[in-house]
Amino acid sequence: MTMHPPISLLADKSLASALTVGDLTARAGLDVLAILVLVGWLYRRRRSVAEMPLALTALNLGLFAAMTAISAGKFPAGVGFGLFGILSLVRLRSAAFTVRDVAYAFIALVIALSNGLPQRETWMIIAIDMLLLAAVLLVDDPSTYRPTRTMKVTLDRIYPDAADLRTDLTARLGTAPLAVEVDEIDYVRETTRVSARYAVEESEQIFLPGQRDPQDSSPLAAGLPAAEKPL
C-alpha cells in the first residue's frame, strides 16, 4: 500500500464541496453585521482617527474575500501560510494610530477568519462573533477610561525634590499633572526636561494645560510655536 505524505494530502484537500450560495450568503451577512457593530458602534464611541473605520472595514472584508477564494479551490498548505505572511506586512504606520486602534484591527481580522471558513456550524460562528463583540463592549468602556495626554516641558531651573517639581508645574501651567517623569537634567544650562501627563477630554483637538476653554484665542490655545519654548 502506497503512503501519501501529509503535505500532499493537504494539497489535494478542497472545501469547495461545502460552499453553497446559501452558506456563503449567511456567512457574509454575519461578517458584515459584526463589522458594522464593531466599527459603526463600538469603535465610534470615542473620538478617533477618521481613516480607521475605512481601514478596519477594508481589512475585514478583504480577509473574508481571501478566505472564501482559498476555500473554493484546491490550494496547497503554503497558500495559507502565505496569506498570513501578507497580513504581517500590514502596518498602522501613522503616529495617530494607537494601541486601541491595533486592538480593533486584530478583532476585525479574527471576525473575518471565523466567518470566512466554511464547514462551520452557524451557531458557532454567531457565538464567536458575539463573544468578541461583547468582550470589546465590556473592556473598552468609555465610562471607565480617563483619556490623558503627555506633554514635554523644559523648565528653567533644577529642583531638589519631586514635590517642588510637581508644585512648580501646577503653578506654571494651571493644571495639576497626573504623573511627572524627569527626562533630562542639564546642570550647565540649569534646566530640567520633564514629561507630564494630564487628563483631557475626548473632544479636545489641541490640549494645553491651563487653556481648556475652546473659545480662547490666545497663542497658547491656538497651538502656536510659542508654546514650545522653555518656560
User: Is pLDDT above 90 for 122?
Assistant: no
Domain boundaries, the chain: 7-144, 148-207
Q: Are 202 and 153 in contact (CB under 8 A)?
A: no
Question: What is the average per-residue pLDDT within 169-182?
Answer: 86
The reply to whether the predicted model has a pTM over 0.85 is: no
pLDDT 10s digits, 98-114: 788 888 988 998 999 88
Describe the chain by its helix, strand, coil percentages, rounded to 5. Answer: 55, 10, 35
Cβ–Cβ < 8 Å for 212, 149: no
Mean pLDDT of all residues in the chain?
A: 76
Measured CA to CA in angstroms, residue 13 lies from 18, 28, 69, 179, 181 at distances of 12, 23, 14, 57, 58
Confidence of residue 193 (pLDDT cuts 50, 70, 90): very high
HSE on the CB side for 15, CA within 13 Å? 18
**Mean pLDDT of the 180-199 span:** 88
Q: List strand residue ranges (DSSP E) for 93-190, in order.
A: 148-155, 179-186
Rounded to 5°, angle at Cα 124 from 118 and 125 = 55
- Give the pLDDT of residue 55: 87
Average the pLDDT over 184-205 and give the result: 81
Per residue, the 3-state secondary structure of 58-104, as one string, reads HHHHHHHHHHHHHHCCECCHHHHHHHHHHHCCCCCCCCCCCHHHHHH
